[in-house]
Amino acid sequence: MAKAVGRKTIMTPETIEKLEEAFLLGCSDREACLMADIAPATLYKYQEKNPEFTERKEQLKQSPFIKARQAVISSFRRDPNLALKYLERKKKDEFSLRTETDVTSGGEKVNIALVKFEDGNDRNKTS
C-alpha cells in the first residue's frame, strides 16, 4: 500500500466552520483567517479550488446587514420616528428633508442643498 505524500490539509471541516462563523459576523477575509488560525493565502488557495465556497462566503458576509434591516423594520411600530428616518433615506424623492441640485453660475458648477425644517421654512446651503 502506497503512503500518502504531502502535507495534511489545514482546511478541515472545523476550519471551514470557523471561517463561516466569522463571515456570518461580517468579518473581513483577514479577520476570518485570524479566527480560524490560517493564513489568508490558505483561504485564497482553497477558494481557487472551491469557487462555490467564495460565493457562500459573500452570502454569509451579508448576514449582519440582513439582521440589522430586520431589526430596524421590526421596530417601526414601537418607534414611528425610526420609520420616518428609514423612509427619508430609502425613498429620498418622496420623504427626504434635503433636496440637492447642481447649478452653473458664471461657468462654475455649484451644489445647492435645500433643507426643510420642522418649522416649515426652507434654508439654502451652497457648497
Residue-wise pLDDT tens digits, 12-45: 999 999 999 999 999 999 999 999 999 999 999 9
Residue-wise pLDDT tens digits, 114-127: 666 565 555 554 44
Q: How far apart are CA 114 and CA 78, in angstroms?
A: 30
The 10 Å CB-count burial string (b at 16+, else e) for 24-35 is bebbebeebbee
| Residues near 53 by beta carbon (within 8 Å), at least 6 away in sequence | 16, 46, 47
Evaluate whether 41 touches 48 at the Cβ level (below 8 Å).
Answer: no
Supply the pTM of this predicted model.
0.63
Q: How far apart are CA 60 and CA 112, in angstroms?
A: 40
Q: How far apart are CA 36 and CA 17, in angstroms?
A: 8
Q: How far apart are CA 21 and CA 97, in angstroms?
A: 40
